[in-house]
Structure 1
Amino acid sequence: MSNDPGAVPSPESRIHGCLLGGALGDSLGYAVEFDQIDEIRRRFGAAGLRDFSVLDGGTHFSDDTQMTLYTVDGIVEALEWANSGVGADANACVWLAYLRWLDTQGVPVPEAAPRPQPRWIDGQQVLRHRRAPGNACLSGLATGEMGTAARPVNPDSKGCGTVMRSAPFGLVPHIPADSVYKLSSDAASLTHGHPSARQSAGAFSLLIHALVQGSSLAGAAQAALARVLGDDDAAPELRERLEAAVRLAGEAGAASVLSPEDLVRELGEGWVAEEALAVGLYAVLATAPQANGGDADPADHFRAAIAVAINHSGDSDSTGSIAGNILGAYYGTACLPTDWLAALEAPEVIRGMAGQLVAVTSG
């Protein structure tokens, strides 16, 4: 994998960058997830939390990274079957992976549910810690029913637990954008049934897919927005938040990135799907070099975007994770700060899952 910031990232670099970048944003955000902005400033100064070095006790990644890696595992299993000439239901493979994640959280898998065979990921002890998992993710899987778009579990839930785990669908090459969107939104139905939860997940995966195909950040954002605006059944709140994120980012400059208070006022706190996607996307676009009148090192962009994504009164780990996924998919590993990687929990597990996805998609 090349770390030359001027090089076009390889597919391998984008996969590793997306998963590691998401974990970095998640980890830094998890340190302040339940804090109001006044408390964040009290703890870390007027600029908020901006670096791992100030976290004396270190930090951990949350359920966001756990579920993202289990999403990877479900996709990998489906592709392993496909590569061996056997068709497999991709959504069923993801569901089985999520049932194995549920077991890591100490929640019994219902007797009526299938008993998935253990895989490499299940033996990684670092993934067996309970890191504030979303209620809808737990309750939806604990039903033992495989939710579908036509018969979703938690039909009124639109928590961000769908978006924060959905980047891996966009990392699979050689499949059409519409298929990426459907795979992601179908997988969201396994735990969340609200249209905005499903469509936000689909839009996020579509954005990642566009970046992997070589799109610019602005172009990928427009592709995701166009998909939502072109859908007559799109949730109005998703349309509103995504349009606002793109518009406000276009107005940003070196001195005009939204304050944490204005960010929440305009885009929300990120606890629900469309807000989390909007905040993470805004953070990336508003801090992009072209928005600030010049060139910037990818790692500088990464640091700046994550700072915007996590320093607010809301779901800081999920918004940080989304921003990190986007930048890692765009720049590849070149954007990941070396000192941040040194502070990341269990990077070998994240790299291990990234390597599995590379292996099954590079044949």
Structure 2
Amino acid sequence: MTSQPQPTNAPPADFGRRVHGTIMGGALGDTLGYLVEFDSLADIQAKYGAAGLVDLSQETPPLHFSDDTQMTLYTLDGLLEVLEWANDGVGADINACQWLAYLRWLKTQGIQATGPAPEPQPRWIDTQSVLHHRRHPGNACITGLSGGEMGTVHRPVNPDSKGCGTVMRSAPYGLIPNIPAETVYKISSEAASLTHGHPSARQSSGAFSWLIHMLAVAGLGLREAAASAGVRAHAEPGADPELLSRLDAALALSAPEVLAAHDGVPLSGAQLTDALGLGWVAEEALAVALYAVLATAPGAVSPPEHFLAAVRLAVNHDGDSDSTGSIAGNVLGAFYGEEALPLAWLKLCEDPQLIQHLAGQLVKLTVGA
């Protein structure tokens, strides 16, 4: 990568709405996908009908978000602590703050880190009882934190793990304005190393946060931002070939001319996962979600209709439905802002006030609004 100074991206006028849209959109997509995370497509259709799971109203409340949203909120809180220190004129180690935030999340799961791990100082988020539930956290996230060693790029924990637990929590890194996109990529990929050591886990996380930044801060269009994330992935020294293959396939298969050749009908179900993977690992989760967003864009009449179409496509398959749904929701919220969020779903979401409060704190600390 070039060592030349990189341009910074100032936030757009509707930045606050994009921040709220990103975090809440991810929570809504996660909530839908969590209903069927461990179900096969055949089981989903047997329960909900041939169209699969298409609406939160198909289940009886209360509905829950998964560990994906829990960890996203703790990512956000780690960044809030860094910003609080910065606004007081004190520099803070970003990755150390993120590690401490994830250690606090680990305690909400009833697990205490061993070894040399410090005891994090509690923060407001830790008092929120809704977060103190086990929602099927990923094994690598648990083991990467509970051992007590702070994972880094050069001293990785879980060196062979590339589970999607890095990508699904990393949208907040893309929401920091007035810094170079390269810094966003670096922060996100280094934070992935706290739990996952495989290059694809780090690079997928960095590419995803880059994508969110291009949408929510730089203001690019969906396909333009996706292409930019693909270019950045290819530019990484030692780029993981599986990540590049999945991203390239998601972009190619969602191209307008390819969709037009199939009467505008996107790949779905087994066709989708056969082409891009089941989403249990980082590069597959990112590719499935990205395809779902891009392939449903041509027929979208309104932002909420696009959101519904994309998230439905992203969760109805045999794979990791909550993570692919969450990532798709993050992307659409970053692009459209809060306008993408279906009002009926907001009424069914678990503790939206918590999500809105933390998103609002990020807006306040970055742009003062």
TM over 0.5: yes
Q: Offset at 1:24? A: 0.1
Summarize the alignment of residues 1-363 of structure 1 with structure 2, pairs less than 5 Å apart.
10-212=14-216, 213-250=218-255, 251-253=258-260, 255-288=264-297, 291-292=298-299, 296-363=301-368
SS at 1:233 equivalent: coil
Contact 1:91–1:183 (Cα < 8 Å) also in 2:
yes
In the TM superposition, what is the alpha-carbon distance from 1:139 to its structure 2 partner? Answer: 0.2
Pairwise CA distance, 1:255:
4.0
| C-alpha contact (below 8 Å) 2:33/2:322 kept by paired residues | yes
Distance in 2 separating the partners of 1:129 and 1:58:
14
Q: Is the 8 A contact 2:164 2:283 kept in 1?
A: yes
- Cα pair 2:200 2:240 within 8 Å, conserved: yes
Query: Deviation at 1:229?
Result: 1.5
For residues 241-285 of structure 1, the C-alpha deviation after alignment (integer angstroms, 9 at most, x for no partner) is 000000111122564200211101000000000000000000000
> Shift of residue 115 of structure 1?
0.9
CA distance in 2: counterparts of 1:23 and 1:184, whole angstroms: 19
Cα distance in 2 for residues equivalent to 1:194 and 1:111 = 23
| Shift in Å, 1:58 | 3.9
CA offset digits 1:112-131 (Å, max 9, x no partner): 21111111100000000000
Cα contact 1:17–1:329 (8 A) shared by 2: yes
The amino acid of 1:328's aligned partner reads: G
Deviation at 1:57, TM superposition (A): 4.4
1:21 maps to a residue whose letter is G
What letter corresponds to residue 190 of structure 1 in structure 2?
Answer: L
The number of aligned residues is 352
Normalising by structure 2, report the TM-score.
Answer: 0.94
SS at match of 2:259: coil
CA RMSD of aligned residues (A): 1.1
Aligned to 1:3: none
Which structure 1 segments of 5+ residues have no match? Answer: 1-7
Q: CA deviation at 1:231?
A: 2.3
Q: Distance in 2 between matches of 1:177 and 1:114?
A: 31
1:9–1:331 CA contact under 8 A, matched in 2: no
Q: Is contact 1:100-1:122 (8 Å) kept?
A: yes
Amino acid at match of 2:332: L
Question: 1:9 deviation in Å?
Answer: 6.5
Match for residue 5 of structure 2? none
Offset at residue 237 of structure 1 (A): 0.1
Tell me how far 1:359 sits from its aligned partner: 1.3
Secondary structure of residue in 2 paired with 1:299: helix
C-alpha distance in structure 1 between counterparts of 2:210 and 2:222, whole Å: 12
Displacement after TM superposition at 1:232 (Å): 3.6
Cα distance in structure 1, aligned partners of 2:237 and 2:360: 38
Q: Which runs of 5+ in 2 are unaligned?
A: 1-11
Distance 1:75 1:252 in 2: 39
Aligned AA (2:129):
Q
Moved over 4 A (4+): none
Amino acid at match of 2:87: N
CA distance in 2, matches of 1:220, 1:316: 23
